[in-house]
Chain A
Amino acid sequence: AQSVTQPDIHITVSEGASLELRCNYSYGATPYLFWYVQSPGQGLQLLLKYFSGDTLVQGIKGFEAEFKRSQSSFNLRKPSVHWSDAAEYFCAVGAIGPGTPLVFGKGTRLSVIA
């Protein structure tokens, strides 16, 4: 069974600083990986996904993530954080085939300070 670990429950960064949110997954085959963002009172919005190919994927809002199979990681990065990036970030893993819903990590809450 798949599992996802997001080691950091809460991260605080200064506006303009770089950001890296960690995600480690456990899955026996090639995973399908996602990052979603949840703003307060909102649903989840897809930031980016990795299905195959280039291991560095670009997403919306200036985010990128790198798939590292050897480390079972899919870390999310942004070079310069904006105050509007404050939200909860979820990493998720899926598997190919019908009836395989996403497994989410517990989330990392990002706070941005001036």
Chain B
Amino acid sequence: DSGVTQTPKHLITATGQRVTLRCSPRSGDLSVYWYQQSLDQGLQFLIQYYNGEERAKGNILERFSAQQFPDLHSELNLSSLELGDSALYFCASSVGGSVDIQYFGAGTRLSVL
């Protein structure tokens, strides 16, 4: 158990809908990262928050947004969902904002039908 909690484990929804994925980092970790894993693209970095502030942005679509709350949990919001958004979404956390060990949650599997 990495100590990173992601909910829900599975999500099935329809095109055009909006969903929210939740991540609770390990105790003491200030950084949260979101990654998308798909068969064709592999593991792609989406966005990073550090202590409530956006720190880095990767290949995140405009339809996607995220935030980190004062208690350090994070939410990834996906809207106007398309079939191609079906993927495994991982959250990872680390102690600091620079390179250190990232611990991954078990992921949320999103299926858009």
Q: Write the residues of chain A forming the contact surface with B, with a CB cutoff of 8 angstroms.
A: 32, 34, 36, 41-46, 49, 51, 90, 94-107
Contact = CB atoms under 8 A, between A and B. Distances in A.
Q: Main secondary structure on chain A at its contact with chain B?
A: loop
A98 B57 CA distance: 12
Contacts, number: 56
Contact of A105 (B42, B56, B90, B105): B42
B106 interface: yes
Given A99-B48, A101-B48, A49 B42 contact: no
A106 B48 contact: no
14 contacts: A32-B99, A42-B106, A43-B107, A44-B104, A45-B2, A95-B99, A96-B98, A98-B55, A98-B97, A99-B48, A100-B99, A104-B43, A105-B42, A106-B42
B12 interface: no
Contact of A46 (B45, B48, B101): B101
B7 to A, nearest CB: 13
A104 B42 contact: yes
A37 to B, nearest CB: 11
Given A43-B107, A97-B99, A102 B2 contact: no
